[in-house]
Structure 1
Amino acid sequence: MAGQPTYALGNSGRARDAQSINILAGKAVARAVRTTLGPKGMDKMLVDGLGDIVITNDGATILREMDIEHPAAKMVVEVSKAQDDEVGDGTTTAAVLTGELLTMAEELIAKGVHPTIIATGYRHAAKKAIEILKTITIEVSKDDRETLKKLAKTSLTGKAAGEYKDFLAEIALDAVLSVAEETDEGITVDVGDITIEKREGGSILDTELITGLVIDKERVRPNMPKKIENAKILLASFAIEFQKIEKTAEIKITSPDQMQLFVEQEEKMVKEMVDKIVASGANVVFCQKGIDDLAQYYLEKAGIYACRRITKSDLQKLAKATGATLFQDVTDIRPEDLGSAESVEEKNLHGSKMTFFLGCKEEKTASVILHGGTTHIVDSLKRALNDALCVIGVALEDRSIVAGGGSPEIELALRLREYASTLKGREQLAVAKFAEAFEIIPQTLAENAGLDPIDKLVELRSQHEQGNKNMGLDVYTGKVIDMYENDVLEPLRIKTQAINAATEATVMILRIDDVVAASGRGGAMPPGMPQPDMDM
């Protein structure tokens, strides 16, 4: 396969107007990921131009890796990306819902309903849907470990980590609780404070949570101390080496003595840099740039633990965890700006050395060392674990969850239909279609599990009409059961974000009535787009 995975939209719609083609493009993207929805969803194998492969059923990953050129199709990708950034899970749900809203809009347009009326109706319906959701939420607290673990397990189900969901859910919960901060406004969770390091080798059950920070770097010299107690940490964004002359210069050396003086001067400059580091009291140095051999020797002689070529993101994590200042120049170093930790130690994990920072000054940090048999397994584990971390974090912040298994979508469809009957005019049609669109989620869950979607939808509607709000589809048994009692739970924000993002993207696509090639851009129109008529 030459090039990235491409979802072909085709050129058959050249004769159609821009609106129809935009809707077609959005539907095509949603259809591409629809089969991955739910615990019984299938995986996609993504192959790039270099032959590297990614196997996943994560909607955001699939859409990010796909080579999509159509502008309207890219809007659906943005919905999935926004869902991933905001919640971390439910990305496929958001994309599928967007595609179904476009399908419903297309049916209304075919009946003569103006896109502006559909857009207005959709916005009213979305607002009402959020209100309805708040009536079926369940409150969760930081101390309710069991419920929070159920959230994580629901997120992990159906992914590569599904078999080990109990084990990983426990790790995810402990990791989130270790970085959660209580403020006057409630709990805030920055999942970025949790570092996930991947290691091929060993079993998934070897995965461990470290209450501290782990950096994938080893000492620059093996004779440096392997462990530093009561660490004083210096973070440098400058190179610890002889400063080369940037301007063009010529130095004439006419005797061996002059050469010796020149070399001694270089050594003196490096020694002065190291002396300033030592004088600050630092016994651990992490440098963003290089540390030359001479500087390494002096640092080793001073008993300092040093690492080089640290990424900027890792330095920022270290600064946050240890309370250190990132120094831009050796002259800026001040003892009071050093970070601290109880210990810094190099450990060997399956043949790979890493540095562990334990007992950091700022305790709100955690690291997970993920183990798995192959690179692909560890990569998919990392995506699954990240989703679980985000889900727990969002639930803690909002303190609101809902039952899963398609039960919220069926309840929304039922209640929105009732709301639509109270409206007048054509907006009623748009709200009714918005309600119908929600049924695509339980319908897809049934289809992906090999069940009859019509029978299951009828059964679900019947249960919800009787007031059983938490009834959803168990894809393993094919029965309609109470999702809350069977531990299938999701954060409220997964649903609200999906509804808002899908609605806004759909409305934006519907409001486009023409596509015009912009001047000064160069290149041809994307494939499948109507070519502009120049005979105006």
Structure 2
Amino acid sequence: MAGQPRYVLGSGGRRSSRGRDAQSINILAGKAVAKAVRTTLGPKGMDKMLVDSLGDIVITNDGATILREMDIEHPAAKMVVEVSKTQDDEVGDGTTTAAVLTGELLAKAEELLEKGVHPTIIASGYRHAAKKCAEILDTITIDVSKDDRETLKKLARTALTGKGAGEYKEFLADIVLDAVLSVAEETDDGIKVDVGDITIEKKEGGSILDTEMIPGLVIDKERVRPNMPKKIQNAKILLASFGIEFHKIEKDAEIKITSPDQMQLFVEQEERMVKEMVDRIIASGANVVFSQKAIDDLAQYYLEKAGIYACRRIKKSDLQKLAKATGATLFQDVTDIRPGDLGSAEMVEERDIGGAKMTVLTGCREEKTVSLVLHGGTTHIVDALKRALNDALCVVGVALEDKKIVAGGGSPEIELALRLREYAATLKGREQLAVSKFAEAFEIIPQTLAENAGLDAIDMLIELRSQHEQGNKNAGLNVYTGKVVNMYDMDVLEPLRIKTQAINSATEATVMILRIDDVVAASGKGGAMPPGMPQPDMDM
């Protein structure tokens, strides 16, 4: 076999890059994603307009929304997008911070790679640094309780600042706080907040100041017939994923009708089938019906005659909320209906909310639930308001669960950078270099805040370092005045979890990208490299 060529990869496998080239390309992709959202960071960050192939637009400065809507193909870049998505799922805010920090960690790692430091050493140093960050953050946290309404309101205001609805943050912060406290539950493990129990409905028209919180569950549907009862007390609720209508034969079939009598019989049979469906509903004791599909005219007539409140074409997500709140079972077929599986609520009624008719359920059996009805001049304003409120709701909920908060304005990042440099000096070997670079990476956050506010980033960083070296742990950047001030005194507060989650996710994603030294397309995917990747190298 001497001298014979050996082929490791089959015809379906393609290697695009290896070793240092693979690392450089992946790092470049990660940095590009971070750069795309960096200008949106902070109260003075800019917005992005995202336009899809259909011409629909989204205007936002929310990092997770931007990265989710962008058409990103590079595998390493997608890993940075996942960091932002995880941050959004776990905390609800700080998505831009997480992406920017990941990009900067990759940039600092690249500097070490160019000096000949092995990726494994960098990865180990980064992990040590991330673990040390948790210890440092514990020294600057502030406790918060459910009864400390003023501090919780400051958290909500901070989360709303810089969003499209920032000028209404005083008004909206009260709504956010009331909504979260309404659904917060005391458990043996502490307070639990399920933001999913807060329903958000959007209505174009009016002002943001018309936004209101309604105790109970709001469904954006009206009665199918105006003569149905407008209000039902002691509601027995039936949830149907099927349509209350005559079900046409699914298979191809031909019915020959040769006389008017046969036609009449056919129509009567259709009516009989619909009436049997309604009779089963009535027999169950239900006086409120929500159907995911259609309710035909004849069924509406029989339901109206029986004094039943009915709504049709309910979204599946709304049906799931109804099931959770009322304790109802979602029936798949009319034959499955059982009286014991109906849900209940003290009241179901149709209300006029902002000029639109909606169904409101109050006194639900299983869950404490509230609804926010958002108003704004245009669709884009209402969409931006929903994203801002969702961030604020999550932030207050997380703070209630963890009972730990920190000052904002870049102050935790500067404190972490300072303390990590001190920690790095105690280490031996090349891991010291990695921890030092990890510390430097944190300064990208206050630096970006300064740049986005049109301030001199170098001057601001020098002043911030000086303040923290003097022991002012809460010193941060006031982007409105360009001064370094105590951010706690300025009421700029964030949940501790925003920082810990961003650091952990960014570290893990960075380490994973650094440890990749070969990019190979799997044969199961036809051997084609993703767009943006270099041409395959066939020399095996």
TM-score bin (small chain): over 0.9
Helix, strand or coil for the counterpart of 1:377?
Answer: helix
Equivalent residue for 1:63? 67
Please say if residues 41 and 448 of structure 2, whose CA atoms lie closer than 8 Å, have aligned partners that are also in contact. Answer: yes
Give the distance between the partners of 2:59 and 2:254, measured in 1 at CA: 56
Alignment of 1:136-215 (within 5 A): 136-215=140-219
Q: 2:300 aligns with which of 269, 274, 296?
A: 296
Measured after TM superposition, the shift of residue 225 of structure 1 is 1.8
Measured after TM superposition, the shift of residue 363 of structure 1 is 4.3
Q: 2:287 aligns with which of 277, 280, 283?
A: 283
Please say if residues 18 and 519 of structure 2, whose CA atoms lie closer than 8 Å, have aligned partners that are also in contact. Answer: no
Amino acid at match of 1:519: S
Moved more, 208-217 or 242-251: 242-251
Alignment of 1:90-129 (within 5 A): 90-129=94-133
Give the distance between the partners of 1:484 and 1:283, measured in 2 at CA: 53
**2:80 counterpart of 1:72:** no
| Distance change >3 Å, CA 484–CA 75, structure 1 → 2 | same
Equivalent residue for 1:516? 520
CA deviation digits over 1:23-66, x for unaligned, max 9?
A: 11110110111111000111111111222211111111111111
Moved more, 243-252 or 170-179: 243-252
Helix, strand or coil for the counterpart of 1:160?
Answer: coil
Give the distance between the partners of 1:440 and 1:211, measured in 2 at CA: 43
Give the distance between the partners of 1:243 and 1:314, measured in 2 at CA: 24
Q: What fraction of aligned residue pairs are identical, expressed as a percent?
A: 87
Please say if residues 19 and 518 of structure 2, whose CA atoms lie closer than 8 Å, have aligned partners that are also in contact. Answer: no
Give the distance between the partners of 2:347 and 2:235, measured in 1 at CA: 6
Equivalent residue for 1:488? 492
**2:236 counterpart of 1:232:** yes
**2:401 counterpart of 1:413:** no
Amino acid at match of 2:146: K
Equivalent residue for 1:5? none
Helix, strand or coil for the counterpart of 2:237?
Answer: strand
Moved more, 462-471 or 389-398: 462-471
Q: 1:376 aligns with which of 372, 377, 380?
A: 380
Equivalent residue for 1:455? 459
Aligned length: 524
Give the distance between the partners of 1:277 and 1:533, measured in 2 at CA: 67
Give the distance between the partners of 2:19 and 2:473, measured in 1 at CA: 46
Amino acid at match of 1:245: I
Please say if residues 17 and 530 of structure 1, whose CA atoms lie closer than 8 Å, have aligned partners that are also in contact. Answer: no
Give the distance between the partners of 1:363 and 1:206, measured in 2 at CA: 26
Measured after TM superposition, the shift of residue 250 of structure 1 is 4.4
Please say if residues 19 and 517 of structure 2, whose CA atoms lie closer than 8 Å, have aligned partners that are also in contact. Answer: no
Please say if residues 521 and 527 of structure 2, whose CA atoms lie closer than 8 Å, have aligned partners that are also in contact. Answer: no
Q: What 5-or-longer segments of structure 1 have no aligned partner?
A: 1-12
Please say if residues 48 and 60 of structure 2, whose CA atoms lie closer than 8 Å, have aligned partners that are also in contact. Answer: yes
Q: TM-score if structure 2 supplies the norm length?
A: 0.94
**2:504 counterpart of 1:497:** no
Helix, strand or coil for the counterpart of 2:520?
Answer: coil
Please say if residues 14 and 529 of structure 1, whose CA atoms lie closer than 8 Å, have aligned partners that are also in contact. Answer: no
Measured after TM superposition, the shift of residue 16 of structure 1 is 7.6
**2:57 counterpart of 1:53:** yes
Moved more, 15-24 or 406-415: 15-24
Please say if residues 414 and 442 of structure 2, whose CA atoms lie closer than 8 Å, have aligned partners that are also in contact. Answer: yes
Q: 2:319 aligns with which of 309, 312, 315?
A: 315
Equivalent residue for 1:10? none
Please say if residues 14 and 530 of structure 1, whose CA atoms lie closer than 8 Å, have aligned partners that are also in contact. Answer: no
CA deviation digits over 1:98-135, x for unaligned, max 9?
A: 01001100100111101111011101100111111112
**2:308 counterpart of 1:337:** no
Measured after TM superposition, the shift of residue 248 of structure 1 is 4.3
